[in-house]
Amino acid sequence: MSNQQVTLTQFIIEQQRGLPDASGTFTLLLNNIVTACKQISHRVNCGALIGVLGSAESENVQGEVQKKLDIITNDIMVKALDWSGSLGGMASEEINDPIKIPKQYPKGKYLVLFDPLDGSSNIDINMTVGTIFSILRCREGIEPETEDFLRRGTEQVCAGFVLYGPSTMLVLTTGNGVNGFTLDQDVGEFILTHCNMKIPEDSSEFAINMSNQRFWEPPVKRYIDECVAGEDGPRGKNFNMRWVASLVAEVYRILNRGGVFLYPHDLRDPSKPGKLRLMYEANPMAFIIEQAGGLCSTGRERILDVKPNSIHQRVPLILGSKNEVERIIAYHQQD
């Protein structure tokens, strides 16, 4: 397929055309998600001009202080999706329980889970933020319970994220590779600009929060120590370090030029196995990363194979270039 002025809608319709059970419902759902993300992009771009920056002086279900835009973007996502008839239900990182479809609307055959504004701690300093989403199948017409959402990442039918940076980018997989679309602000359409994105198998770039170093497990400390040692160490080459504190930005960089991102298990609080959420962050990103030729792991288990035990479950996350992630997994196995 040519990458010249192919819109997202055309791209999805052409992908769905060859499927025997395609009904247009999935295309409608994805279009509604994209419409919500265009609205979010506008709010993010306007920022202080429309008074949406700063803290809302409230906490989400994880006990994190919410930004005003966390609440606004969550409402935008819900209102864009609840009426369409495509969904059986939704789940948001910002809300404790699954979000029910209002009784006046029909229920559909999909479930959507989303982080409406990933990296929102960066919003007040004008750094990159984004929206992450994951789509699962649902038994049509049912009122889904929490258990209906607790599915392994291998059961996702689609995952994507939208990056609100110098340009607004959508990265998407439906299980047939990864493609990137750039929002043409003049016409309001996402245009295919990055076909079949592939992550280089080798890299000399890593991203980790070094301030947590004293809490790391030995396998992670070993890997980072070797990277920092550079040419003088066992790796025999120099590495660069990056840390944006925005998962969407880190993953987008890795998709474009390789690298490895680590938010590993640490020893600060044994009751917290990780920082990032399995259902809203790790699973969709793992689907994208693997479809682009990379790997995604907790260090001890493939992310997409993790059986969820709660809708807001947290996990360690290590993802990126295949050979680097394999090395980190091997260090965990040796530990």
Amino acid code (one letter) for 24: G
Mean of all residue pLDDT scores within the chain? 90
Q: Is 32 annotated as a binding residue?
A: no
| Domains delineated in the chain | 8-196 (3.30.540.10), 205-333 (3.40.190.80)
pLDDT digits (tens, 9 = 90+) for 137-176: 998 778 899 999 999 999 999 999 999 989 999 999 999 9
Q: What is the 3-state secondary structure (H, E, C) of the chain?
A: CCCCCCEHHHHHHHHHHCCCCCCCHHHHHHHHHHHHHHHHHHHHHHHHHHCCCCEEEEECCCCCEEEHHHHHHHHHHHHHHCCCCCEEEEEECCCCCCEECCCCCCCCCEEEEEEEEECHHHHHHCCCEEEEEEEEECCCCCCCCHHHHCCCHHHCCEEEEEEECCCEEEEEECCCCEEEEEEECCCCEEEEEECCCCCCCCCCEEECCHHHHHHECHHHHHHHHHHHHHHHCCCCCCCEEECCCCHHHHHHHHHHHCCEEEECCECCCCCCCCCEEHHHHHHHHHHHHHHCCCEEECCCCEHHHCCCCCCCCEECEEEECHHHHHHHHHHHHHC
Q: Is 269 annotated as a binding residue?
A: no
Spatial CA neighbour of 226 closest among 217, 216, 236: 236
pLDDT at residue 53, rounded to an integer: 55
Collect all residues with Cβ–Cβ distance below 8 Å to 125 and sequence separation of at least 6.
none
Distance (Å) of CA 60 to CA 68, 110, 144, 316, 327: 12, 25, 22, 20, 36
Residue with more model confidence, 209 or 54: 209
Q: Is 209 annotated as a binding residue?
A: yes
Spatial CA neighbour of 293 closest among 169, 159, 197: 197
Mean pLDDT of 309-325: 97
pLDDT digits (tens, 9 = 90+) for 240-252: 999 998 999 999 9
Q: How many CB atoms lie within 10 A of CB 35?
A: 14
Mean pLDDT of 269-292: 94
Q: Is 75 annotated as a binding residue?
A: no
Whether residue 227 has pLDDT greater than 90: yes
Give this prediction's pTM. 0.92
Q: Is 317 annotated as a binding residue?
A: no
Per DSSP bridges, beta strands 189-194 and 168-173 are: unpaired
Residue matched to tokens 């939208």: 162
Q: Is 281 annotated as a binding residue?
A: yes
Per DSSP bridges, beta strands 205-207 and 168-173 are: unpaired
Whether residue 1 has pLDDT greater than 50: no
d(CA 189, CA 68): 27
Q: Is 93 annotated as a binding residue?
A: yes
Q: Is 205 annotated as a binding residue?
A: no
